[in-house]
Chains A and B, each alone.
Chain A
């Protein structure tokens, strides 16, 4: 059964890879919307595992790396990870 689950997982992954598309750069309006969404997501998503750390703790360029790391650790949806990053960098 577990092997079947693994095969199912791989099938889902392949589907994701086929359907996946690179993102385009956000416009200013999209970035404002991301900021608003990030402000809502930040306290909840971070607190899922640990206290939410304020944007002032790291430089904006460091948040780029840290949010990539957190996207991996928590499997965050890419758009939501970008929204939180936008919020953290803007509230720096």
Chain B
């Protein structure tokens, strides 16, 4: 288009030049022709200008299109870049998430998380089975008896919520020469009212002294047998049925505590198989809901720990107990006792002294005293460099023990002498003398914190004195003095497991 316009311009210019250079040739028709040429030239110019404007407009449109396309291209590039960045981020996040999942799978769920999840799964109402089992071999020299015996005593704990717990203990006993016996020595509801007060109701271990409540489980008692004041001729009834209030509080530094137990219960009952009450009569082992009297027995126990936890002097426990009531209407029963326990490193010692007073229908009361003291030393950690390592490992699991216990009472009842051994009792008749004395040597081998093989040799060394009473229905009691009584020795070996 531009070339054509240029050619036309050139042609018009040459024509005009030739016309102007023709000398002396000017005619009328030439003038008209010239005018015509001028018009044509004008027309050509006009056409050229129009074409130019058209071209410029077209160029402008094209430039706008180009700009538009360039903008679109830039936007596309920008969008493409954003997509690329987003894609990279997504890839990185996915990789991280996959890595996290791998890490979680690799490390497993944490113990606390699992514990919490499991507890949530179980809910608040939970049963827990614990308790103890024991199998014994028992030999008594005087009766020439040797036998096996076993006892299974599960404790079922039912956790209702954080402030109510039910506890039931079932005892399945297989005494020698007899079929199994079952008992329900403990069945309580424990209600924690606040940090300082708890209510316990039901059949419970007598909270008098330390033995029944805290030392009687097979694996907790360092010996196979109970000390004499808590043995077959016990001064205090082992269990009772009633209500307790109890609690403990720290009064000083950490470890300096004081605690209390106060209870009301049906009270003691004495051997009801005898046709009449006599001095020296044994206590019923388990008091059932049949009332002995129209009144209740009241008991209280206080315990204090005077030394702080980190005291270089060790840990000391001092306690005092009392139990008062009627064993028959208008016939009172009173008991009191003091006790201690001491712990320092591998050394542990404990002891109790207790007295019982029983009002009798006759003028003479039934007074009894009992005591025991025991000491043990766990060889764990004791350096024995002269021994091979294997021998050290074995020896350091031993705990040698010694215990001295005794009971004084005015009389014993011959009808009640039982020489049938059972778990925790050798069957020695020397235990049933009015002034019984016993030295027990023990050697425990600890397989685990609650699994122990216990060995015990009992030297029964009764002292002369007191009376032996024989009760015959319809007859006055026969009373004979007790002179020197033969010593006796017994051996007991027991595997006790606390589970």
Number of residues in B with C-beta < 8 Å to the partner?
A: 65
Cβ A52 vs Cβ B128 within 8 A: no
Given contacts A5-B322, A9-B260, A52-B449, A16 and B309 within 8 Å (CB-CB): no
Interface membership of A29, Cβ < 8 A:
no
Cβ A77 vs Cβ B122 within 8 A: no
**Beta-carbon contacts of A61-74 to B below 8 Å, as 1s and 0s?**
11011101101111
- For A8, the closest partner residue in chain B by CB is B300
User: How many Å lie between the Cα of A20 and that of B192 in the bound state?
Assistant: 11
User: How many Å lie between the Cα of A19 and that of B195 in the bound state?
Assistant: 10
Number of residues in A with C-beta < 8 Å to the partner?
A: 52
B485 to A: closest C-beta gap in Å: 34
Which residues of B from 3 to 33 have beta carbons under 8 Å from A? none
A23 to B: closest C-beta gap in Å: 6
User: Which one, B62-70, B81-89, B249-257, B417-425, is touching chain A?
Assistant: B249-257
**Beta-carbon contacts of B177-194 to A below 8 Å, as 1s and 0s?**
000000000000010111
**Beta-carbon contacts of A23-65 to B below 8 Å, as 1s and 0s?**
1000000000000010011001001111111100111111011
Cβ B303 vs Cβ A17 within 8 A: no
Which residues of B from 264 to 300 have beta carbons under 8 Å from A? 298-300
Cβ B300 vs Cβ A72 within 8 A: no
User: How many Å lie between the Cα of A38 and that of B298 in the bound state?
Assistant: 35
- For B244, the closest partner residue in chain A by CB is A72
User: How many Å lie between the Cα of A8 and that of B228 in the bound state?
Assistant: 31
User: How many Å lie between the Cα of A19 and that of B200 in the bound state?
Assistant: 19
Which residues of B from 25 to 74 have beta carbons under 8 Å from A? none
How many residue pairs, one in A and one in B, have C-beta atoms under 8 Å apart? 167
Cβ B167 vs Cβ A69 within 8 A: yes
Which one of A50, A60, A89 contacts B220 once the chains associate, using CB atoms below 8 Å?
A50
User: How many Å lie between the Cα of A62 and that of B130 in the bound state?
Assistant: 10
User: How many Å lie between the Cα of A5 and that of B262 in the bound state?
Assistant: 10
Interface membership of B112, Cβ < 8 A:
yes
- For A41, the closest partner residue in chain B by CB is B309
Interface membership of B115, Cβ < 8 A:
yes
Cβ B165 vs Cβ A65 within 8 A: yes
- For A63, the closest partner residue in chain B by CB is B128
User: How many Å lie between the Cα of A2 and that of B333 in the bound state?
Assistant: 11
Cβ A75 vs Cβ B259 within 8 A: yes
- Residues in A whose Cβ lies below 8 Å from that of B126: 61-62, 64-65
- Residues in A whose Cβ lies below 8 Å from that of B299: 6
Which one of B112, B195, B261 contacts A75 once the chains associate, using CB atoms below 8 Å?
B261
Which one of A51, A76, A77, A89 contacts B115 once the chains associate, using CB atoms below 8 Å?
A89
Which one of B190, B192, B317 contacts A48 once the chains associate, using CB atoms below 8 Å?
B317
Cβ A66 vs Cβ B309 within 8 A: no
- Residues in B whose Cβ lies below 8 Å from that of A13: 197, 245, 247, 260, 262
10 cross-chain pairs, A with B, having the tightest CB-CB distances, nearest first = A20-B194, A75-B259, A78-B195, A51-B449, A75-B248, A9-B262, A16-B196, A9-B300, A65-B157, A65-B128
Q: 26 interchain pairs (CB within 8 A)?
A: A6-B262, A9-B300, A13-B245, A13-B247, A13-B260, A17-B197, A20-B195, A50-B220, A51-B446, A51-B449, A53-B450, A59-B115, A60-B118, A65-B158, A65-B159, A65-B165, A68-B165, A69-B130, A71-B192, A72-B190, A73-B214, A74-B214, A74-B248, A75-B247, A77-B248, A77-B259
Additional 14 contacts, C-beta under 8 A, given A16-B249, A77-B195: A41-B255, A50-B217, A51-B450, A58-B130, A60-B119, A61-B122, A61-B126, A62-B126, A62-B128, A65-B159, A66-B128, A72-B198, A75-B261, A78-B192
Footprint of B on A, CB under 8 Å? 2-3, 5-6, 8-10, 12-13, 16-17, 19-23, 37, 40-41, 44, 47-54, 57-62, 64-66, 68-69, 71-80, 89-90, 92
